[in-house]
Amino acid sequence: MYPLKFSPILKSTIWGGNKIIPFKHLNSDQQQVGESWEISDVPGDESVVANGTDAGKNLTQMVQEYKGALVGESNYSRFNGKFPLLIKFIDAQDDLSIQVHPDDELAMKRHNSMGKTEMWYVIDNADGKAHLRSGLCKNITPEQYQQMIEDNTICDALADYAVKPGDVFFLPAGRIHSIGAGCFIAEIQQTSNITYRIYDFNRKDKNGNTRELHTELSKEAINYSVEPDYRTHYTPCKDQPVDLVSCQYFTTSVYNLSECMTIDYSELDSFVIYICMEGACTIKDNEGNNIEMQAGESILFPATTQNLEVTPHGEVKFLETYV
C-alpha cells in the first residue's frame, strides 16, 4: 500500500475564523471555517481518498478492503473494523461552548459509541491573545456544578490558560474543557462525535434561541477531580522525536526537522499519521513511494510501512500519531 491523502471535510460554524483556508492552501469563498476534518471515519463524515489508485474511496471502504494491512492487525480486531482516530484542525474566532465527553463505558451504554479522549496542539494564538479552559480548578460536587450552570458561574470553577504555539493539552474523557477565542489547534481524538454541551455563555442564534445544554447527561460524565496543572510539559528539540502523549487510544510525538531522518516502524502494528503544521518535506517509504507534505496536510501511512525517510525542505514540523 501507499501513503494516503484525503480531501478535507470543512465545517462552517458560528465561531469559526478564516485561518484554515490559507493554511490549507484552498481556493474557496468560504471564509468562516471552524473545523477541517482531516481524517475521519465518523458515520456521515467519512474522509475520501484524494490520491493514488484508491482515489474516490472513503475511509470506511478502505478499512473494509485492506483490513489489518491498513490499520494494523491488532487495531482491526480491537476496534471491530472501524478506524479509531479522528484528526482535525480547529480555528476558534470566538469561544467554543464549554463541554465534556463521556468515556467508553458511558458512551457505549448511552449511545452505542466509543467515548472521546483527545489532545490539542496549539498551532497559533492570535497575536498572543488566545486562551482555553481545561479541567476544574476547585472542588465542586455534582449538585454545585448544576447550580453553577444555572447561575452562570461555571467558568469560575475552570482552569483557564493563556496559550502559545507549541502548547499541548491532553483531555481524557470526563475532563471539562473549552477552546477559547484566538486558538488555532490540531486535535487528535477517538473516533466519536459524542459531546455534552455544558454552557454556552447564554448566546443566542439568529432566531433568538439559546443552544441546548446537556446538564443532566454531563453531570454523570464529568471527572470531578482537581489537578494542579493540566498543561502537558515537554522540552522542544530539533531533529529528534519529542514524546507528547501516550495513552491507550493514541501515542503522539512532535518532530521539528532541519535534516533528513529515517524513522523505523518495523516493530509497530499500527497505521501512522503525520499532521504537518509548519514547512514542507518529501517522504519516501520502504516501497519506494514518494509523497510531498506541507503545512496544513495530514497523511495516513498504512500499517505495512516499515520505515519512512523524511527530507525537509529547509525545515518541517509535524505531529506523529498512532495507536
Residues belonging to the active site: 197
Backbone φ and ψ for 206, nearest 5 degrees, come out as -65, -20
CA angle 214-215-217, nearest 5°? Answer: 65
Identity of the amino acid at 93: Q
Distance CA 221, CA 217 (A): 7
The DSSP line for 3-59 is -EEEE-EEEEEEEEESSHHHHTT---S---EEEEEEE-EETTEE-EE-SSTTTT-BH
> What phi-psi label fits residue 202: left (phi over 0), alpha (psi between -120 and 50 degrees) or beta?
left
Q: Distance from CA of residue 175 to its chain's centroid?
A: 15
3-state secondary structure of 76: helix
**Contact present, 222 and 143 (Cβ < 8 Å):** no
Q: Which H helix or E strand runs over 234?
A: none
Three-state SS at 61: helix
Rounded Cα–Cα distance for residues 219 and 223 (Å): 9
Tell me the C-alpha distance between 184 and 31, whole Å: 15
DSSP for 171-231, please give it.
E-TT--EEEPTT-EEEEEEES----EEEE-TT-B-TTSPBPP--HHHHHHH----B-S--E
